[in-house]
Amino acid sequence: MTALVELADVHVVHKARTGGLFTRDKVYALTGADLTIAPGETVGVVGESGCGKSTLAKVLVGVQPPTSGTVSFQGRDLWAMPPAERRKAIGSHTGMIFQDPSTALNRRLTVRQILRDPLDVHGRGTAAGREERVRELMALVGLPKALADGLPGQLSGGQRQRVAIARALALDPDLVVADEPTSALDVSVRAQILNLLLDLKERLGLALVFVSHDIQTVRRMSDRVITMYLGRIVEVAPADRVTDRARHPYTRALFSATPGLLDPIDPIPLVGPVPSATRPPSGCPFRTRCWKADGVCADSMPEFSVSSTSVHRFRCHHPVGEEESTRELVGQAQAPPKEPA
Ligand SMILES: Nc1ncnc2c1ncn2[C@@H]1O[C@H](COP(=O)(O)OP(=O)(O)OP(=O)(O)O)[C@@H](O)[C@H]1O
């Protein structure tokens, strides 16, 4: 089956925002990302703040050009296409839902105008057909018809996010990427929005990439979970293995600190801060905080290894054993790294 989206050795490097106007510092937001998203699957993305989750999300929907590497939509190199063709491919294959619907929606447009806009831009159907599509989209996300002439400021947070979801679905995409879709919402409506996303995914056969700090929700919603650390994808695991069968020490540490997933344990301590994305450590970026790190880890970034299940991949020179319990690791991690950074 052809992948919906395939990333091959994708790097995104920004000019640093800090260090003044003339800084030559670079931020390595995404480094060597290899990934395929299959039709209909749900993939969660986890990792600490600044590790590149949003960058990966934007690359997947084609709004962030890679500095190098290839992004293919259904086998075609997106960034080798002429710009008009690329815009069409992005519009018809992908939709993106952002964290905060209050800033993602144009406050001066009505709900109807917001939903019509992508249809108009891409010249979909007749004027009457577009009006019908707007009604269909509102019904799809559970928005009452009466809100069609409302402005975003007149809606609740949950309703605004429903508008944003409807807009992402307007052109009938195959892939929807949701970047922290509930973190700006009241706790009371978060579950409704998550359930809506899952329901739409089933009904429309969408692939869904779901970025969140809420590890428990990612684990519950996803088929596969991607762990990122300092711009790198370090593990891709089936959701039912990621909690206690993860092979990368960082994934184990991250999940050990998430309440409600494992029997209560002390979390695996992560020593020190995340290094700067402008000066990532040589070799494996996690080595400065990893209790298993040694000289090999400083020398090179390991290639992906594949676990006993062929869909579980991880990049680590000293992976955790498949049968090793996280509880056992907590004790090991109290010891300092073999080679101090
Ligand atoms: N346009 C930009 N210019 C400079 N640096 C950027 C830019 N966009 C992102 N970065 C930097 O790239 C790195 C990755 O950012 P990204 O937003 O992808 O991380 P994230 O994991 O989504 O973070 P968070 O969880 O806090 O949203 C960070 O160090 C960030 O500061």
pTM beyond cutoff 0.90: yes
Which of 18, 23, 45, 55 has the most ligand 1 atoms within 8 A of CB, as the residue to mutate? 55
pLDDT for the residue 339: 55
Instruction: Output the residue whose Cα is nearest ligand 1's atom 30.
Output: 50
Instruction: Output the residue whose Cα is nearest ligand 1's atom 11.
Output: 29
pLDDT for the residue 17: 79
Q: Cβ(11) to ligand 1 under 6 A? A: no
CA of 52 to the centre of ligand 1 (A): 6
Structure tokens at 286: 């996690």
List CB contacts of 277: < 8 A, sequence separation 6 or more: 27, 28, 29, 50, 52, 230, 231
Q: Cβ(30) to ligand 1 under 6 A? A: no
* 45-73 per-position pLDDT tens digit: 999 999 999 999 999 999 999 999 999 99
Q: Cβ(53) to ligand 1 under 6 A? A: yes
Sequential DSSP letters for 256-288: HTSTTSSSS-PPPP--SPPPPTTSPPSSSTTGG
CA of 171 to the centre of ligand 1 (A): 28
Structure tokens at 226: 């991607």
Q: Cβ(326) to ligand 1 under 6 A? A: no
CA of 50 to the centre of ligand 1 (A): 5
Q: Cβ(177) to ligand 1 under 6 A? A: no
- The H-or-E segment that residue 332 falls in is helix 326-333
Q: Cβ(185) to ligand 1 under 6 A? A: no
Q: How wide is the angle at C-alpha 30 spanned by C-alphas 24 and 35, nearest 5°?
A: 160
Positions of the chain with pLDDT lower than 70, given as ranges: 1, 19-22, 260-264, 334-341
pLDDT for the residue 336: 55
ipTM above 0.90, yes or no: yes
Q: Cβ(49) to ligand 1 under 6 A? A: yes
Instruction: Output the residue whose Cα is nearest ligand 1's atom 14.
Output: 52
Q: Cβ(193) to ligand 1 under 6 A? A: no
Main-chain dihedrals φ then ψ at residue 279, nearest 5 degrees: -135, 70
What atom of ligand 1 comes closest to residue 15's alpha carbon? Answer: 4
**Domains identified in the chain and CATH numbers:** 5-222 (3.40.50.300), 244-334 (no CATH)
pLDDT for the residue 329: 83
- Walk across the sheet containing 313-314 and list its strands: 94-97, 175-179, 207-211, 42-46, 224-229, 232-238, 313-314, 305-306
Instruction: Output the residue whose Cα is nearest ligand 1's atom 24.
Output: 49
Can you tell me the distance from the alpha carbon of 114 to that of 107, in angstroms, rounded to the nearest whole number?
9
Query: Rounded to a whole number, what is the distance in angstroms from the first to the last CA of the chain?
Result: 44
